[in-house]
Amino acid sequence: NDEEIQNFGWPISSYGVHYPSHVEHWKKIGAEKIFNELAPLKKSHSKFGFKEPLKYWTPSIGISEIIKIPNSFDNKFKNDYFVAAMGNVIEDGDQTIHHLRLSNSNENIIFEDKIIIKERIRDLVFNKNDNSIILMLGSEPSIAVLYK
């Protein structure tokens, strides 16, 4: 529903955890209780009136924006999306483009795949002029181009 803004619960509900340095900072200033009240990170979303995410990564992979990939890139693509990850641990899904295909109703992930790049990927852009994905990389600041 484009008219209704979905609430996924941040910062109340999340399957992630706070950065240890943030927790330590709030402890150090004697405000850990306030921190936990402001951002408790409850593990359920629906139980607290929020929408459950279709996909999440734990540990977090530091995602880029999510882009829809048209079927001009690949004629098998119908409702396909790419999201990239920064981070440093490839085994956790970092430095990777995650390919997700959603059902027609956008309520389920029906296919997942990964393209491991071995570079922190800050941004993705679909270039319709040459049917490619442009990647802005962060480990060694550079640009890469992905073709089918």
* pLDDT value of position 1: 54
* pLDDT value of position 10: 83
- Name the nearest CA neighbour of 112 among 121, 122, 102: 102
Q: What is the largest CA-CA distance in the chain?
A: 57
Query: Which percentage of the chain shows pLDDT scores above 90?
Result: 78
How do 109-116 and 80-85 pair as beta strands?
unpaired
Confirm if 74 and 148 have CB atoms less than 8 A apart. Answer: yes
Which of 36-40, 50-54, 109-113 is most confident?
109-113
* pLDDT value of position 5: 80
